[in-house]
Chain A
Amino acid sequence: MLSLVNLSKRFGDVVALDGASFDVPAGRIVGFLGPNGAGKTTAMRCIFDLVHPDTGEVLWGDAPVGPAERLRFGYMPEERGLYPKMKVADQLAYFARLSGKNRQEAKDDAAAWLTRLGLLDRADSKLEELSHGNQQRVQLAAALVHNPELAVLDEPFAGLDPIGMESMAETLRELAGRGVGIVFSSHQLDTVEDLCQDVVIIDRGRIVLTGELSRLRSSARLRHLVIEVDDQAWSPDGEEVTVVVTRTGDRRLLVEPSVDLDALLAAARTAGTVTRFSFEPPHLSDLFREAIQ
Chain B
Amino acid sequence: MKRSFAQTWEIARRDLVQRAKSKAFLATSLLVVGMILVLGPLIANELDDPPPYRVGVVGAADEEFGAYLDVAAASFERDAVIERFDDLAAAEQDLEFGDLNVIVVDGTEIIWLEEESSQLNSVVLFALQSIERRDIAEELGLTSDEALALLAPPAPEFRTLREPDPEAEPRRIGALIGSILLYTSILMFGQFVMMGVVEEKSSRVVEVLLSRVRPTQILVGKVIGIGLLGLAQLALLGAVVWFTLTQFSIADISLADIGRDVIVQVVFWYLVGYTFFAVIYAALGATISRQEDMQSVALIPVALLIPGYFIALLSLEDPNTTLSRVASMVPPTSPLVMPMRLAVGGVAAWEVAVALTLLAAASYGLIRLGGRVYTGAVLKLGPKVKLRDAWRAAGQ
Mark A residues whose CB is within 8 Å of B.
48, 50, 52, 67-68, 70-71, 73, 75-77, 79-86, 94-95, 97-100, 142-143
Within 8 A of A (CB), among B204-259: 204-214
B7 within 8 A of A: yes
Residues of B within 8 A of A94 (CB): 10, 14
- Chain B residue, CB-CB nearest to A94: B14
- Chain B residue, CB-CB nearest to A142: B208
Interface residue range, chain B: 20 to 34
Q: What 0/1 pattern do residues 4 to 42 of B give for CB contact below 8 A with A?
A: 101100110010001000000000000000000000000
State whether A79 touches B204 (Cβ < 8 A). Answer: yes
Inter-chain contact total with CB atoms closer than 8 Å: 64
| B17 smallest CB distance to A (angstroms) | 9
State whether B210 touches A95 (Cβ < 8 A). Answer: no
B396 within 8 A of A: yes
State whether B14 touches A77 (Cβ < 8 A). Answer: no
Residues of B within 8 A of A86 (CB): 18
- Chain A residue, CB-CB nearest to B395: A52
Would you mind naming 17 contact pairs between A and B with Cβ atoms under 8 Å apart? Answer: A48-B210, A48-B211, A67-B4, A73-B211, A77-B204, A79-B381, A80-B204, A81-B206, A81-B207, A82-B203, A82-B205, A84-B203, A95-B212, A97-B7, A98-B10, A98-B209, A98-B212
Which of A75, A79, A97 is the one whose CB lies under 8 Å from B211? Answer: A75
Mark B residues whose CB is within 8 Å of A.
3-4, 6-7, 10-11, 14, 18, 199-200, 203-214, 379, 381, 396
Q: Which 8 A-B pairs have the closest CB atoms?
A: A81-B204, A75-B211, A77-B207, A81-B205, A98-B212, A48-B211, A79-B204, A97-B10
Residues of A within 8 A of B207 (CB): 50, 75, 77, 79, 81
State whether A68 touches B3 (Cβ < 8 A). Answer: yes
Residues of A within 8 A of B208 (CB): 75-77, 81-82, 95, 142-143
State whether A85 touches B18 (Cβ < 8 A). Answer: yes
- Chain B residue, CB-CB nearest to A9: B396
How far, in angstroms, from A233 to B218 measured CA to CA in the complex?
60
| A258 smallest CB distance to B (angstroms) | 49
Which of A76, A81, A99, A100 is the one whose CB lies under 8 Å from B203? Answer: A81
How far, in angstroms, from A85 to B212 measured CA to CA in the complex?
21
- Chain B residue, CB-CB nearest to A52: B396
Residues of A within 8 A of B6 (CB): 97, 100
State whether A77 touches B211 (Cβ < 8 A). Answer: yes
